Amino acid sequence: MKRVARDNEASARRVTRRALLLSGGMAAMFVALGARMRYLGIEQADQFRLLAEENRISIRLLPPIRGVIHDRHGKVLAENEQNYRVVMTREDAGDVEAVLNRLSHVIPLTRSDLDDALEALKKNSSFVPITVKDRLNWEEFSRVALNAPALPGVTPETGMSRVYPRDADFAHVLGYVGPVSEKVLEGVENPDPVLQIPKFQIGKVGVERWLEDTLRGTAGTKRIEVNHIGRVMRELDRIEGQAGSDVHLTIDAGVQNFIQARLGEESASCIVMDVTNGDIIAAVSSPSFDPNLFVRGISNTDFRYLMDHDHRPLANKAVQGAYPPGSTFKMVTALAALEEGVITPETTVRCPGHFESGGRRFHCWRRGGHGAVDLERSLSESCDVYYYEVALKVGIDKIAEMGRRLGLGIRHDLPMSAITEGNMPDKGWKMERHQAEWRIGDTINASIGQGYVLSSPLQLAVMTARLASGRAVKPRLVRAIDGREIPVEPAEPLGLSTSNLTAVLHGMDAVMNEAGGTARSSRIVADGLRMAGKSGTSQVRNISAAERASGVMSNDQLPWNRRDHALFVGYAPYDNPRYAVSVVVEHGGGGSTAAAPIARDALLRALYGAVPPLDAYPADQRGRMDSLLSSLLLRDDDGRYPGPSET
């Protein structure tokens, strides 16, 4: 009995211990469970609330930073500035019209802004963010950020926008950027995804367009966490894109600005070109415009003004304009005849003031004639009759061949918009274009750069550079990309007789420096900078026999748009050519009076690297030139205009 009692007692003790252990384990488990619940419910509440509210990950493209454009010395011509904007994603917004309406009470939005945003939201995929408004100020940007909870799908962002610090000086060279159009996307088989970002900007004209692939860069991406109402909760990670390449042009910003100021409000253009390597030092078209207006969204008023202006500020006359070259073409006719051996520099032609052919009278600009004229005098005094006779001896086909050899009638390859090919006609061209035979009168007109002959200021500058160097110099506009110089291939010789070329250049020298030279008043007197050139006048109206009999009306008696075009080509120094220049002043009258002085000033600015000193001008002109040069509003090295006190 005693043993049984002892066994029962031991068994009870074991049960008690087990109960205690089990109870302790259960208590510990409940404590741990409570602690975990507290951790999940309190400490991790925000994290799980995000998940509970249907958070998800969204991947968005990051527009690349566009490459910067510099001049040949590193001065900035096109760069990027910070831009505050508001974007909206349709799939996160819900009722987009209601959200846009609320947004319009936060920042000013026009009816046009709202309509554009709605159209973009409908056109694009629901996950693609579209730009509702950009160029916000800091206060507007902050208001959007503060009201973000009430604006589902709306996100304030900072980005970069294009800006042109030298505005009008480079409008025609650089062009401008603008939003990608449907037409652009339709014309690309596999468009870069970044092009589909609404209001993403690409080059529209000029260097910005033709070097688009170089300047654009590659898009990056960012992963963001958004909640069920489309509010961005946080950025998870970011992969930066590759910025576009920086580009250095051959143009000198100082020379460009000087010429732009020198042309003033004339409807004119000027090209300055380095004879040694083809670098375009300046390419100016006047009047100009501010390309920043197009980047920011030009108003209808401003656009209509530019479109309706009779001086055509939107046209790049330097490369798009095609003009009869007038007497600047006479070197082509002379060289063709010399190379064919039908004349020598000593050959003379008698000029009575007109030339008879086929019962028609072709007049010289000097009514009384020039008398006996040789090559040098025919150029220096610009005798037309000399070239009428010479052209009939050599023929139009040889003249056209020489013109093309000198760069006329050719579309030169530069990253600029609408570069004209001009026209260097021959017998085959007329038959193909007009289904008509070439006539003697066509050759006579072509001999002095009239009739069917058309040339741009760029082509005339190339022609002059080739005459000055004796080589087939090719124009170029891009000097380096990302700091890597683009090599220049040595220009091939033109294959012209040295003596023939020298004879023509002597004539161009006489134009500027001999008594009777048509442009002698625009000569350079500084030592070592002697200038050679040729003036030209391009007739834009027919002169009737009655008017010629009674006396041809002078240009200043005519309406502006009926006056002759004024042209000039030249180079300096004469003994060691460095720069060539061409100038066209639309309806400017005489080339020697309207275009030659501008060409001289442009050459001097390029040669000196600064505003020309007065002692480079003839003594009797220095007072006038001092007044003219002092009146020019020029930029400083930083591209800024002087303040009132400095002016």
The structure tokens listed for 510 are 């006489």
Domain ranges in the chain are 2-43, 57-248, 253-631
Q: CB count, 10 Å around CB of 46?
A: 8
Neighbours of 448 (CB within 10 A): 31
pLDDT at 91 (0 to 100) = 76
**How far apart (Å, rounded) are the C-alpha atoms in residues 495 and 646?**
53
Short-list 55, 37, 73, 272, CA closest to 166: 73
- Residue indicated by tokens 């991406």: 221
Helix or strand holding residue 177 (H, E)? strand 177-179
If one counts every other C-beta atom within 10 angstroms of the C-beta of residue 418, the result is 11
Residue 383 and residue 377 in contact, taking contact as beta carbons nearer than 8 Å: yes
What Rg value do the Cα atoms of the chain yield, rounded? 37
Residue 43: exposed, middle, or buried by beta-carbon count in 10 A (0-12, 13-18, 19+)? Answer: exposed
Residue 178 contacts residue 204 (beta carbons within 8 Å): yes
Q: Please state, in angstroms and rounded to a whole number, the distance separating the CA atoms of residues 343 and 326.
A: 21
Looking only at the bridges linking them, the beta strands covering 56-62 and 360-363 are: unpaired
Amino acid identity for residue 351 in this structure: C
Rounded Cα–Cα distance for residues 538 and 414 (Å): 26
Cα distances (angstroms) measured from residue 594 to each of 42, 396, 528, 537, 600: 85, 30, 25, 10, 11
In whole angstroms, what is the distance from residue 113 CA to residue 93 CA? Answer: 17
Structure-block tokens of residue 137: 């100020």
**Residue that is written with structure tokens 């007197």 in the block:** 525
For residue 157, what are the β-bridge partners?
85
What pLDDT is attached to residue 404? 98
Residue 218: its pLDDT value, please? 86
In terms of DSSP bridges, do strands 360-363 and 280-286 run parallel, antiparallel, or are they unpaired? unpaired
Report the pLDDT value the prediction gives residue 342, as an integer from 0 to 100: 96
The beta strands (E) that lie in 180-256 are given as 201-203, 220-226, 232-239, 247-249
With tokens 């590659």, the residue in question is: 218
| Mean pLDDT per 10-residue interval, the chain, length 647 residues | 59 67 73 71 60 61 89 96 84 83 87 84 75 82 85 82 93 92 72 75 93 90 66 71 93 97 96 98 96 86 92 95 96 98 96 89 90 96 96 97 97 94 96 95 95 97 98 97 93 96 97 95 96 91 54 66 91 97 94 96 97 97 96 90 57
Across 612-621, b (16+ Cβ under 10 Å) vs e yields beeebbeeeb
Please tell me what DSSP assigns to residue 523. -
Terminal C-alpha separation, the chain: 129
Catalytic residue numbers read 327
574 neighbors 509 (Cβ within 8 angstroms): yes
DSSP 33-72: HHHHHHIIIIITHHHHHHHHTT-EEEEEEEPPPPPPEE-T
Q: Of 531, 497, 498, 539, which Cα lies nearest the Cα of 514? A: 531
Residues in the chain: 647
Contact 516, 558 (CB under 8 A): no
Distance CA 77, CA 249 (A): 9
Q: How far is residue 72's CA from residue 276's CA, in Å, rounded to a whole number?
A: 16
| CATH class of the domain at 57-248 | alpha beta
CA distances (Å), origin 132, targets 34, 118, 153: 50, 9, 11
Closest by CA position to 460, among listed 576, 337, 580: 580
Question: Do 57-248 and 253-631 have matching folds?
Answer: no
> In 3D, which of 587, 592, 595 has the Cα closest to residue 562?
587
Q: What pLDDT sits at residue 102?
A: 87
Q: What is the pLDDT of residue 109?
A: 87
Architecture of domain 253-631: 3-Layer(aba) Sandwich (3.40)
